[in-house]
């Protein structure tokens, strides 16, 4: 997910927003919820906006624990299932699925999450064990001055793009999705890794990164790659000759799934936090700040934001879904094969 500061809130403050949010039954500031969050501008936004608004709505304090899915997972495993350091974890589903299988999370009590009813079906994941709080969809970004416009993921294999392709590596969930996507396009389904790896090898030389493809795109080192739409718009506003397409096969997406720990130290407060984050008001804040696609169906993307947030409403069904259990069960073998066959 792109970690670039967005200046689009239009003056909405956390304390001003709190007047429109539901109040929760917490009157003492003695309660504290530990909230794992990404670093950088995510931490900054949570510290300046989300955390104060939640405190205003609940009377509870918020302590941020900055890291990523790998870090949160390591912390939970070190503490054990019985005494987790968190009550709630929001992370990519690929990490959440593994922790869920190990018994860390509980099936959600939906009566405590009234905003759940307004979520798009695609956000109601993991058979009731998780909720997608945000999606950051990924399509194809390209340099308009260097290559012709593609229309589909399979177009990446056209000769026009040889030697000019960028990819996320396998350590990134987008790299894993790229393998599953290639397996689905060129094989029988997402599990046909033989076909997927052959297809990726057929791309020839590619530039791989763990996180940031924008630098290579800006320098012309690559001319086409999987890109989150908002980042392409940002580069375009900087004067770079770039654009994006929504591939005909659908889009991949960075997700952030919210999960409650089975032995959470502040379980009721964690449920209030989930309901808070998927409320229309907070979903709109996140959309305007990070250009995420709202998972609450009550949020309407304004016309001026559709270039940055082209996937919403009925188009949410275009977000492709993956079997992360398969990926996690075969993680080592797939990673080694990627290194050998893709580079």
Which of the following CATH numbers is that of domain 136-252+322-341: 2.60.40.420, 3.40.350.10, 3.30.200.20, 3.40.190.10? 3.40.190.10
Q: Residue 148: CB partners within 8 Å, gap ≥ 6? A: 160
- What's residue 320's pLDDT? 97
Kindly indicate the confidence band of residue 30, based on its pLDDT and cuts at 50, 70 and 90: low
| pLDDT of 28 over the 60 cut | no
Give the residue-averaged pLDDT of 62-81: 95
Burial 163-175 (b: 16+ CB within 10 A, else e): ebbbbbbbebbbb
CA-based nearest residue to 272, from 88, 99, 104: 88
Looking at the chain, the domain(s) classified CATH 3.40.190.10 span 14-135+255-312, 136-252+322-341
The pTM (predicted TM-score) of the whole model is 0.90
| pLDDT of 2 over the 50 cut | no
Tens of pLDDT, residue by residue over 205-236, are: 999 999 899 999 999 999 999 999 999 999 99
Enumerate the β-bridge partners of residue 245. 140
CA-based nearest residue to 77, from 90, 95, 63: 95
Q: CATH homologous superfamily for 14-135+255-312?
A: Periplasmic binding protein-like II (3.40.190.10)
Give the residue-averaged pLDDT of 42-70: 94
Kindly indicate the confidence band of residue 31, based on its pLDDT and cuts at 50, 70 and 90: confident
| pLDDT of 81 over the 90 cut | yes
Kindly indicate the confidence band of residue 241, based on its pLDDT and cuts at 50, 70 and 90: very high
Distance CA 169, CA 164 (A): 16
| pLDDT of 272 over the 70 cut | yes
Q: Residue 237: CB partners within 8 Å, gap ≥ 6? A: none
Tens of pLDDT, residue by residue over 280-297, are: 999 999 999 999 999 999
- What's residue 27's pLDDT? 40
Confirm if 143 and 223 have CB atoms less than 8 A apart. Answer: yes
Distance CA 85, CA 72 (A): 9
Kindly indicate the confidence band of residue 125, based on its pLDDT and cuts at 50, 70 and 90: confident
Tens of pLDDT, residue by residue over 136-178, are: 999 999 999 999 999 999 999 999 999 999 999 999 999 999 9
């Amino acid at each position: 997910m792109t970690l670039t500061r967005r200046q689009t809130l239009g003056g909405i403050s956390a304390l001003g927003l709190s007047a429109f949010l539901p109040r929760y039954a917490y009157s003492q500031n003695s309660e504290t919820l530990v909230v794992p969050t990404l670093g950088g501008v995510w931490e900054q936004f949570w510290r300046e906006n989300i955390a104060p608004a939640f405190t205003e709505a609940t009377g509870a304090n918020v302590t941020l624990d900055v890291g990523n899915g790998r870090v949160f997972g390591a912390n939970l495993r070190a503490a054990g299932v019985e005494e987790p350091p968190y009550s709630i974890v929001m992370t990519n589903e690929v990490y959440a699925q593994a922790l869920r299988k190990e018994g860390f999370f509980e099936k959600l009590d939906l009566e405590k999450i009234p905003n759940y009813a307004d979520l798009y079906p695609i956000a109601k994941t993991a058979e009731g064990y998780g909720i997608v709080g945000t999606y950051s969809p990924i399509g194809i970004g390209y340099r308009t001055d260097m290559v012709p416009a593609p229309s589909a993921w399979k177009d990446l294999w056209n000769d026009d793009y040889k030697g000019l392709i960028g990819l996320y590596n396998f350590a990134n969930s987008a790299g894993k999705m790229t393998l599953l996507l290639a397996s689905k396009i060129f094989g029988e389904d997402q599990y046909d890794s033989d076909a997927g790896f052959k297809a990726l090898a057929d791309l020839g030389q590619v530039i791989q990164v763990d996180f940031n493809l924008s630098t290579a795109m800006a320098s012309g080192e690559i001319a086409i790659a999987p890109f989150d739409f908002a980042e392409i718009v940002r580069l375009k506003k900087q004067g770079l000759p770039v654009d994006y397409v929504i591939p005909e096969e659908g889009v991949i997406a960075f997700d952030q799934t919210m999960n409650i720990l089975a032995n959470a130290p502040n379980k009721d407060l964690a449920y209030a936090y989930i309901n808070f984050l998927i409320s229309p008001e907070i979903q709109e804040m996140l959309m305007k700040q990070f250009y995420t696609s709202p998972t609450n169906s009550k949020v309407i993307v304004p016309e001026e934001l559709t270039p940055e947030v082209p996937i919403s409403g009925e188009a949410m069904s275009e977000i492709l879904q993956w079997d992360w259990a398969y990926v996690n069960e075969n993680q080592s073998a797939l990673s080694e094969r990627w290194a050998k066959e893709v580079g």
